[in-house]
Amino acid sequence: MNVYIQKKMIKALVVYASFTGTTKGIAEILAADLREHQVEVLIRECTEVYPAEYLENDICVMATYTYGSDGALPEEAEDFFMISRRSISQERSLEC
Ligand SMILES: Cc1cc2nc3c(=O)[nH]c(=O)nc-3n(C[C@H](O)[C@H](O)[C@H](O)COP(=O)(O)O)c2cc1C
């Protein structure tokens, strides 16, 4: 009898905000590294993905630039971060 065990692939979502392209390049390097480790990677600009999609992944990464004088997040990255944090805490409260 042959038994086949299919290993479930680890899934990662890499989200970035990039103004001049540096952060996008770093996110692409990270995605390529994860793929070399057999991780299934989805890479998206932060306005092109629903924050709740974080919940469907085993690994979630957010990379962003800052152009403030005080290291403040750009608006689009802050929106994504706040909404995804809310989605995650709602999901956790449903699990309890
Ligand atoms: C005008 C200006 C302000 C910046 N302010 C900050 C800052 O407050 N803190 C910081 O860590 N980096 C700051 N940076 C650096 C950028 O965040 C950094 O170069 C980043 O890699 C740019 O990413 P991007 O090419 O993806 O837009 C600033 C850069 C510029 C040009």
Distance from Cα 31 to the centre of ligand 1, integer Å? 22
Asked if 30 and 24 touch (Cβ cutoff 8 Å), the reply is no
| pLDDT digits 0-9 by tens, 29-88 | 999 999 999 999 999 999 999 888 888 899 999 999 998 778 888 999 999 888 888 877
- What the block records as the tokens of 78 is 């802050």
Place of tokens 């802050």: 78
Judge whether residue 12 has pLDDT over 60.
yes
Distance from Cα 27 to the centre of ligand 1, integer Å? 16
Task: Output the pTM of the full model.
Answer: 0.85
Residue nearest to atom 14 of ligand 1 (CA): 67
Residue nearest to atom 27 of ligand 1 (CA): 19
Mapping DSSP to helix (H, G, I), strand (E, B) and coil, where does residue 12 land? strand
Domains of the chain: 11-95 (3.40.50.360)
Pocket of ligand 1 (CB under 6 A): 18-24, 65-71
Judge whether residue 22 has pLDDT over 60.
yes
Task: Tell me which amino acid residue 89 is.
Answer: S
